[in-house]
Chains A and B, each alone.
Chain A
Amino acid sequence: MKPARFDYERPRELGAALALLAGDNVTTKVLAGGQSLGPLLNLRLVQPDIVVDITAIPEMIRVEEEADHLVLGACITHADIEDGRVPDVTNGAMRDVAAGIAYRAVRNRGTIGGSLTSADPSADWVSALAALGAEVILRGATGTRTLPVEDYVVGALETSLGTGELLETVRIPRLSKAARWAYVKKCRKTGEFAHAIGAVLVDPERNVWRAVIGATESRPIVAADARELFGGRGDAAALNTFDARIADRILINAGMSDALDRQIHVVALRRAVAQAAETALQ
């Protein structure tokens, strides 16, 4: 259970990190908190030539709060979010999600960017940030590009990160005060990867109706206009008219053939909708 040998670099500048990642004759892996990469290295499932530690790059813990969004550097940890060391624009939604990730000892090192980039379908940020409508900003040698979180994750453990690209920041939209949100995950053991995730965000002031079914073994299923799940209703009472059959059909169309699997995922979403209906955010 020891990693195969690798070389280690810890650049202080973003440009130096990008240069390392652009090298095409060696395999590189980016290390942030290492809470996903560490197990893969220890199990020797991943055997890079060079590990590039990006935690010494000041931009990586950047925090910028704007009128309509929050920008978090990739190396902001789950505990930073849980404890409120960074501002919150989601009426506490992100704090709650962060507090439910793995265990405290993991949250103290695990990062938001690392979690997204590991792209485990069952990871909390993959589904939660997709439901919140967040975007990632990727930096490469020639500049940056911005992608919605649901397009960043393209499959199990696969992202759309190109060679020589790095996830630099995550951009989270500010929710209205009246926004309704809930995030439900099904785990058999506390802190393990979820077997099913349901998340819903209803923010009529911003005309946002999003729902996510996650932990599907692939990219999360995102309903960017979730009103179809509520019989087409777009008013405050919509959350009370959730139609499980439509959620089930969405899963069938997404290729989830196992009825039990679908049931677990539909129930996760149904519970999320019920919670969102009951609980106005603080």
Chain B
Amino acid sequence: MSEISLVVNGKAVSGAVEPRTNLADFIRDTLNLTGTHLGCEHGVCGACTVLIDGVPARSCISYALSCGGAEVTTIEGLDEDEITRELRAAFTREHALQCGYCTPGMLVSARDLVVRLPNADEQQIRVAMSGNLCRCTGYVGIIRAVQMTIAERRARGIPPVQGGGRTALGPVGSGHAHAIERVATFHRERDTNSAAAPAGAQIGAPSLDPNWQPQASFEQNFVVHHPLAKVWEFFGQIEEVATCLPGASIKEASPQRATGQIRVKLGPIAAEFGGIAEIERDERTHSGRIQGAGSDARTSSSTRGDLRYTLVSLDAASTRVDVTIGYRLTGMLAQFGRAGLVQDLAARLTSAFAQNLEARLSGRTQSTQPQELSFGGLIGPMIVERARRLWASLLSWRK
């Protein structure tokens, strides 16, 4: 815990916070100012918007400790504020709220527009208010209330203020306080739900629901410069195949079934999926299918995947591997909600896998060290790749 001092609604306050405590939780839990609401907790919905150093910022993705010495104004601090009083009247007139959950954030963002916007342009207001979500009103009343307040004030000769009056550079809230050094006795204390659950624990008994449908699928192919028979034989040895997948390791394997893990890294995001796979092979068509399921305790995410491959002989010395992968991803990774990122990862993994496969078949050591980047291999996590599409389809946040 660290001591933090800041000014909230004009009063100096201090308290002990953990580094991970966001400003909203400090305001709500420590100061008991519960007018600040938390919605999405990743910067998308706007419910937690407060004024920091006089301008709006998200209190859910601003850590209390990083705002040491800042001036914070919450909805409670705007009771006597002239602009907010006018906005409240306009919100009432226009029925600009129903359940009221979004309203504190709406008022803080709207106040900023009343200060800054030169005139009551509806399009500009709609764009500027798009960072505050309301599930009740359909926004019409909210936009009208903001328009009206701006129009009335400009008509009274009150000019807009460029930048909301801010003159300092850098992130609002930052730059006020002294240096902080961590306690010397640093000791990593993982939360129990991260540490206690062994990888793969969440899937329980290996259950590959036959009615499962992938959320997305994609195809890839690559060529190895070895005859089909040799590649086919190699693909029959799941442990060998796994060594070509960066980050993959097999715990137990039989011709029909394997358990293991795969570590996947996407920029700063690292996940280790543990799970099971069921393996089918068809000698006649030189095709195979691997169905897997896995989970990562650290990110509380689960995946389910279906990989089908077919070997096609191009000539006596080379074979094309066609791969179709379907997957579904649930949990935090899925919530991350960014589309398409996994494709880039998949492309890199496939290329590493193809290179490693080529090297293995040629009896060389692998050209790529099996590290973490990984093509969710022949184990459940194949699915990772798929994740990208999935991510895309969910919430999208903005940097």
Contact = CB atoms under 8 A, between A and B. Distances in A.
B179 interface: yes
Given A120-B399, A158-B267, A11 B169 contact: no
B31 interface: no
A218 interface: yes
Contacts of A76: 169-170
A51 interface: yes
* Interface SS majority for chain A: loop
Given A4-B194, A106-B131, A111-B171, A34 B19 contact: no
B63 A8 contact: yes
Task: Identify which of A4, A45, A121, A218 gathers the most chain B CB atoms within 10 Å of its CB.
Answer: A45
Contacts of A47: 190, 194, 298
Interface in B248-294: 266-269, 271
Contacts of A120: 338, 341, 399
A203 interface: no
Nearest to A190: B130
A2 B60 CA distance: 10
Contacts of B175: 55-56, 61
Task: Identify which of B22, B42, B60, B169 gathers the most chain A CB atoms within 10 Å of its CB.
Answer: B169
B179 A102 contact: no
B12 interface: no
A56 B177 contact: yes
Nearest to B191: A4
A157 interface: yes
Interface string A117-156: 0111111000000000000000000000000000000011
Contacts of B189: 5
B66 to A, nearest CB: 5
Interface string B162-185: 110011011111110111111100
B114 interface: no
A119 B341 CA distance: 11
B295 interface: no
Contacts of B232: none
Contact of B46 (A8, A39, A103, A157): A103
B397 A156 contact: no
Contacts of B302: none
Interface stretch (A79-87, A222-230, A268-276): A79-87
B169 A8 contact: no
Contacts of B170: 55, 60-61, 75-77, 80, 111
A50 B42 contact: no
Interface residues of A, number: 81
B388 interface: yes
Contacts of B22: 2, 38, 42
A249 B20 CA distance: 47
Nearest to A256: B343
A105 B399 contact: no
A12 B348 CA distance: 38
Interface in B42-97: 42-43, 46, 49, 52, 55-58, 60-63, 65-66
27 contacts: A2-B20, A4-B20, A5-B19, A5-B188, A5-B189, A5-B191, A10-B179, A12-B178, A29-B268, A34-B61, A35-B61, A38-B61, A42-B42, A42-B61, A45-B269, A63-B169, A75-B170, A75-B174, A76-B169, A103-B132, A103-B398, A105-B49, A108-B56, A115-B399, A156-B267, A217-B340, A217-B388
Given A75-B171, A102-B399, 5 more contacts: A1-B41, A43-B336, A49-B188, A103-B130, A191-B131
Interface of A: 1-12, 16, 26, 29, 31-36, 38-51, 53, 55-56, 60-61, 63, 75-77, 79-80, 83-86, 101-106, 108-111, 114-115, 118-123, 155-158, 189-193, 195, 217-218, 255
